[in-house]
C-alpha cells in the first residue's frame, strides 16, 4: 500500500474524531499533543486504522508513535511486509 493511501485513511479517521488538522508535510512532524490528539484519541485512531487495514501494531511499536509521520510509517511498514 502506498503512503498516500495510508495518509488518506488516517485523515478520514482523524476527521471522524472531530480533530481539525491540515495534512501538509510540515505538520506531520508536529507531536500528537501539538495537533490536539490526546492519548485516548491516539488509541481510538490506532484501533480504527488497524480495523480498516486489517493489521495490528505490535505493542512495542505503540510507544514509538510520537507524531503523524510515525503513525504513517508504522502502518506503511505493516501493510508492505
Single pTM value for the model: 0.88
62's CB contacts (< 8 A; 6+ apart) are: 46
For residue range 5-50, list pLDDT tens digits in order.
999 999 999 988 888 877 776 788 889 998 889 999 999 999 999 9
- The confidence score (pLDDT) of residue 12 equals 92
- The confidence score (pLDDT) of residue 25 equals 67
Contacts 24+ apart (CB under 8 A), 63-70: 65/32, 66/31, 66/32, 67/28, 67/29, 67/30, 67/31, 67/32, 67/35, 68/10, 68/23, 68/27, 68/28, 68/29, 68/30, 68/32, 68/35, 69/28, 69/29
Residue 81 confidence class, pLDDT cut points 50, 70, 90: confident
Residue 79: is its pLDDT beyond 90? yes
- The confidence score (pLDDT) of residue 22 equals 77
The grid coordinates listed for 50 are: 488497524
Amino acid at each position: 500500500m502506498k503512503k498516500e493511501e495510508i495518509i488518506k485513511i488516517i485523515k478520514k479517521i482523524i476527521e471522524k474524531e472531530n480533530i481539525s488538522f491540515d495534512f501538509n508535510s510540515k505538520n506531520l512532524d508536529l507531536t500528537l499533543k501539538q495537533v490536539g490528539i490526546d492519548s485516548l484519541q491516539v488509541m481510538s485512531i490506532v484501533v480504527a486504522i488497524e480495523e480498516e487495514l486489517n493489521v495490528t501494531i505490535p505493542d512495542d511499536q505503540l510507544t514509538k508513535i510520537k507524531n503523524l509521520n510515525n503513525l504513517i510509517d508504522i502502518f506503511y511498514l505493516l501493510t508492505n511486509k
